[in-house]
Amino acid sequence: MTTMTATPRDSRQWTIDDLEQLPDDGRRYELLDGKLLVSPAPVVTHQLMVKALSSALDAVCPPELVVLFAPVDWQPDPRTSFQPDVLVVPNQNLGVKNITEGMILDVEVLSPSTRDRDLVQKRAKYESSGVASYWVVDPDAPSVLAWDLVDGRYRSAGVASGDQTLALTLPFPVTLTPSALLAPYNR
């Protein structure tokens, strides 16, 4: 199933209030600047990578930060709502229902239906919203692309694939080996 972009039912743009009226049917509903984005539920490999990344980050996360994973909504404005696969926020920015400010790391795990959106549209939105670090992980050809925000623009923080290691310093020091993230599940 491919990702769909729906147009509003009338001339107005979609808002978070509209999003909250949609059914809980297993699809991922997100908003990007008032446009509704619909994706199918993630596949098992995607979820295994999310689990591995969450665990790796949680193991080295300082106590003033928290590692969360989808489905948690990040809503920086009334017309945008994403569900990052893995995110890091300061404890004081935890909302009861969603995250509206202070996300300092977003990690998106690529799926065939979200690849272009994650690499282009979401990256641009996170950059313009001031998210300090953005990583994209590909579970099919195990790799990690990482960017840090420098002077309002994302700059490469590192790239690794397969058995290469990637040592990152933001939002806190962590070392990742893409192939090792899925190794426990490759039987």
Position 131 scores a pLDDT of 95
**35 to each of 11, 68, 84, 116, 122, how far by Cα in Å?**
12, 25, 17, 16, 13
Position 5 scores a pLDDT of 47
Position 187 scores a pLDDT of 54
Position 12 scores a pLDDT of 66
Residues in the chain with pLDDT < 50? 1-9, 11
Query: What domains appear along the chain, each with residue ranges and CATH number?
Result: 42-185 (3.90.1570.10)
